[in-house]
Amino acid sequence: MTNPAIEARNLSAGYGKQAVIRNINIVVNPGEVVALLGSNGAGKTTTMLSLAGELSPLEGEVLIDGKPTKAPLHVRAKQGMSYVTEEKSVIMGLSTRDNLRVAKADVDEALRLFPSLDKRISVAGGSLSGGEQQMLTLARALGRHPKILLADELSMGLAPLIVQRLLQAVREAADTRGTGVLLVEQHVRQALKYADRAYVMRRGVVELEGTAKELASRIDDIEATYFAGAKA
Ligand SMILES: Nc1ncnc2c1ncn2[C@@H]1O[C@H](COP(=O)(O)OP(=O)(O)O)[C@@H](O)[C@H]1O
Ligand SMILES: [Mg+2]
């Protein structure tokens, strides 16, 4: 049996001694797209930071390819992790082409994934639309052919068609290259169309998990319980 690409085991973490996320158990297998869902403040980003090596566990551990690790992000990146944070990773003063090159991403492959970037290839990152910047961000992250992709709110504030294109690209990386993907998404319904499984967090713990199909079949219920009016 292959090891999970990445796993959190009984993980607790926070920004001081106080845990913000508690006893988190998450598994992402190679070739799987897994969604991490929950309202604002539920602890999704804190979980991602811990998996990425940016935040040390207070308890529990993170395993990569079955081995416990305490390595910082730059080491995990060398071992094949791409981490797309909530901040955009586009270099504003460089063209689309140069953004891809400095990320060591293949330009042709990026254009195949996102054909609409073709006519924007010489345009500076800072002049791209929000959707184009996020396509470029994802193309940069996937262009390195990571074993693990952690993506936090990749499609925030974008139009449905662009959300779909981003999710399709992630799905393709999982299917064709065996990338293990963990995706924080506010577009819950769309995410469940592309994910294999999902975890739903509330108040720092995982309260619900299941296959995407199973969760999608009771989406109204789940939205009412975990997302409705929960912006605060
Ligand atoms: N840098 C920080 N310092 C202290 N508390 C933080 C910090 N970042 C987030 N928090 C708190 O941790 C909790 C979870 O936040 P976060 O993981 O960002 O949630 P989500 O990504 O699900 O919106 C929130 O209560 C938030 O206020
Ligand atoms: Mg967040």
- Which CATH number do you get for residue 29? 3.40.50.300
Cβ partners under 8 Å of residue 41, min gap 6: 232
Considering the chain, what is the average pLDDT of its residues? 95
41 lines ligand 1 (CB under 6 A): yes
Confidence check: pLDDT of 77 > 60: yes
Mean pLDDT for the stretch of residues 45-54? 98
Alpha carbon 96 to its chain centroid, in Å, reads: 22
Closest-CA residue, ligand 1 atom 18, reads 45
Please count the structural domains in the chain: 1
The whole-number pLDDT of residue 72 equals 96
Mean pLDDT for the stretch of residues 106-132? 96
How far apart are alpha carbons 104 and 144 in whole angstroms? 6
The boundaries of the domain holding residue 174 are: 6-227
Amino acid making up residue 63: L
Confidence check: pLDDT of 229 > 60: no
Mean pLDDT for the stretch of residues 63-73? 97
Does a structural domain hold residue 119?
Answer: yes
Does a structural domain hold residue 98?
Answer: yes
| Residue 61 and residue 68 in contact, taking contact as beta carbons nearer than 8 Å | yes
The whole-number pLDDT of residue 86 equals 82
Does a structural domain hold residue 80?
Answer: yes
Q: Which of 37, 39, 46 to mutate to test the pocket of ligand 1 (most atoms within 8 A of CB)?
A: 46
The whole-number pLDDT of residue 89 equals 84
Does a structural domain hold residue 171?
Answer: yes
Confidence check: pLDDT of 230 > 90: no
Percent of the chain's residues with pLDDT above 90: 91
Name the burial class of residue 67, with classes exposed (0-12), middle (13-18) and buried (19+) by CB atoms within 10 angstroms of its CB.
exposed
Does a structural domain hold residue 45?
Answer: yes
Collapsing DSSP states into helix, strand and coil, what is residue 29? coil
Confidence check: pLDDT of 55 > 90: yes
How far apart are alpha carbons 25 and 29 in whole angstroms? 13
* pLDDT confidence band for 228 (50 / 70 / 90): confident
Mean pLDDT for the stretch of residues 179-191? 96
How far apart are alpha carbons 173 and 27 in whole angstroms? 18
Percent of the chain's residues with pLDDT above 70: 98
Closest-CA residue, ligand 1 atom 24, reads 41
Q: Which of 18, 20, 84, 185 to mutate to test the pocket of ligand 1 (most atoms within 8 A of CB)?
A: 20
Prediction pTM value: 0.95
Q: Measured in angstroms, how far is the CA atom of residue 69 from the centroid of ligand 2?
A: 23
Mean pLDDT for the stretch of residues 138-163? 94
| Residue 229 and residue 222 in contact, taking contact as beta carbons nearer than 8 Å | no
Does a structural domain hold residue 187?
Answer: yes
Type and span of the H or E element at 141:
helix 130-143
The ligand 1 atom at the shortest distance from the C-alpha of residue 48 is: 17
Mean pLDDT for the stretch of residues 13-20? 95
Running DSSP on this structure, what letter comes out for residue 7? Answer: E
Does a structural domain hold residue 167?
Answer: yes
The whole-number pLDDT of residue 159 equals 93
Q: Measured in angstroms, how far is the CA atom of residue 184 from the centroid of ligand 2?
A: 8
Q: Which of 17, 40, 45 to mutate to test the pocket of ligand 1 (most atoms within 8 A of CB)?
A: 45
Does a structural domain hold residue 232?
Answer: no
Closest-CA residue, ligand 1 atom 2, reads 15
